[in-house]
Amino acid sequence: MTFLARIIRFLFWLCVVSWGVWFLRRMLARVQQNAAEATQHHPEGTTEAPEPGATRRLVRDPVCGVHVDETLSVPLREGGELLHFCSIACRDAYASGTKKVAANG
């Protein structure tokens, strides 16, 4: 009877370990998938990822002062000057603010 009990115990732990490995592999795959989606997400909705070896230039948002990657920024060309913003809300705040100054001035 002890021999049969050892076989059953062995099979039980074999099932537990295999289920644990299966669960860990699934969780790691999910984490990798989320990380891949996060690197491909851009504020403008494009999914182009920057080249791995390319150097990045940081630009400063004139509204809130946040430094943002030039490729991820929201551009606005005003006159001959190209301005970069961290979000569409900052771009719209800047555009509405310049219109108010121009109307009052």
For residue 93, count CB atoms less than 10 angstroms from its CB and return exposed for 0-12, middle for 13-18, buried for 19 or more: middle
pTM, entire model? 0.44
The DSSP output letter for 72 is T
- Identify whether the C-beta of residue 68 lies closer than 8 Å to the C-beta of residue 86: yes
Give tens-digit pLDDT for 78-95: 888 899 999 999 989 888
Q: What is the pLDDT of residues 16-37, one digit of tens each?
A: 999 999 999 999 999 888 877 7
Do 57 and 84 contact (CB within 8 A), yes or no? no
Task: Give the tens place of pLDDT for each residue, 92-103.
Answer: 988 888 655 444
